[in-house]
Structures are given as C-alpha cells and as structure tokens.
Amino acid sequence: MMRSLLLVGFAVISLQSTTATASDCYLGPFVAPIDTPSGCPLYAWHHAAEQPAPPAVHVMRNGQMVNVAGTIEKTTTTLGVEWPEYDCKGVVTGTSTTDEAYDMYRVQITGALVGEQLIVDGQMAGRYAASGSCIQPIDPLPVCSQLPPPCPGVGEGEDTDGGGCDAGGGNGALAFGLFALGLVLARARR
C-alpha cells in the first residue's frame, strides 16, 4: 500500500512539473453556427491529428442522448494557429503562426425538434431553430499560449507573478503531504 501511494505521489509530481512548462492549446472542436436553422447544416472543425473522428451530434430528449447527425461531409483545410510570444513579465511581444490541418465537417441535422439544445462532441452548441438563413461558415482562429520565461535574476521556485504557478509551496509540499498520508495509512492497517 505504501509503495502504491509513493508511486502515485511521484506520478502526480511529474505531471505537475510538466504542466507548468507545457503550452496550453485549445485546438477544437469548434462549431458554427450557434443556433442551427431547420434545413441548414451545422459546421464543426476537428484538428486532423488530435480529433480524427467525425463530430458526435446529439440532443437531450426525455433524459436520453439522441443522435441527430444525418449526412456528414468532410473536407480538409488548413487553419493558422497563433502563438503569442511573451517577455518574462507576461507582456505579449509578438506572435507567430503555424499552419495546422483541420477536418471541416458539414453535418445535416435529422430528427431534432425545434427548440432542442444541440450537443456537439459533448459541448452545448446552440438550439435547433424553426427557420432562418443558412450561413457560410467562418474559419475559427485557434490560439495557443505558454508560460513566460523566467526573468533574469529570479531564482527557480520564486514567485515571479504574485501568486501564479509557484503559489502553494510547489511540488515539495505535495510530496511531503503524500508521504505523510502514506505513513498514516500504513499505521492504520497494522
């Protein structure tokens, strides 16, 4: 039991360490329009490498998820993913863009009732409307972010942003807490 807790503790610590330096990208899915008029398609974009499957389109009816995705057409496109660049104080100093492959899906809705909430890939995506004009979709603008580099002269583990990533004592406190929990549980089993 003690060995399991220590392994879990080290796994959490490694996960925490990597999350602090990793980038934060929301690559989709993206959905347009917000409300889908009857007879008009719903458009969804999936990152080609991260989300290779077509979108799941449902409504909630009588407590059950009901699939309302009819015909699905797929085309592949390229979207520019923007990467802001920061100085050590978090001020944006520039941006760069990388082109990423996206699958754009045109989904015809079938079986939805007017007024029902559409759910695309588990996210609320507007309502199914009685009528309206079909729109031409506008490509989404994915943006990624990352933590700024440390400022010169500031030691590692020091708080550089007044309560940000280093707040709460860092990984040492977590490791100590998990170790102490392991000792308590080990004694309780005896």
Torsion of CA 40, 49, 25, 88, to 10 degrees: -150
* Cα torsion 47, 76, 74, 43: sign: positive
Phi first, then psi, for residue 22 (nearest 5°) are -75, 160
Alpha-carbon distance of 85 to 71, in angstroms, equals: 41
Interval 44-97: pLDDT, tens: 999 999 888 999 999 999 999 999 999 999 999 999 999 998 899 889 999 999
Asked if 109 contacts 36 with a C-beta cutoff of 8 angstroms, the reply is yes
pLDDT surpasses 50 at 115: yes
pLDDT of residue 1: 39
Percent of the chain with pLDDT over 70: 68
Structure token pair of residue 40: 């008009």
Alpha-carbon distance of 49 to 53, in angstroms, equals: 10
Q: What residues pair up with 143 in beta bridges, in sequence order? A: 82
Task: Give mean pLDDT, residues 142-147.
Answer: 84
pLDDT band at 23 (very low <50, low <70, confident <90, very high): low
Tokens 């699905």 -> residue: 72
Provide the whole-model pTM.
0.64
pLDDT of residue 149: 85
What are the residue boundaries of the structural domains of the chain, listed by start?
1-22+149-190, 23-145
Interval 147-187: pLDDT, tens: 888 888 766 555 555 544 444 444 444 444 444 445 444 45
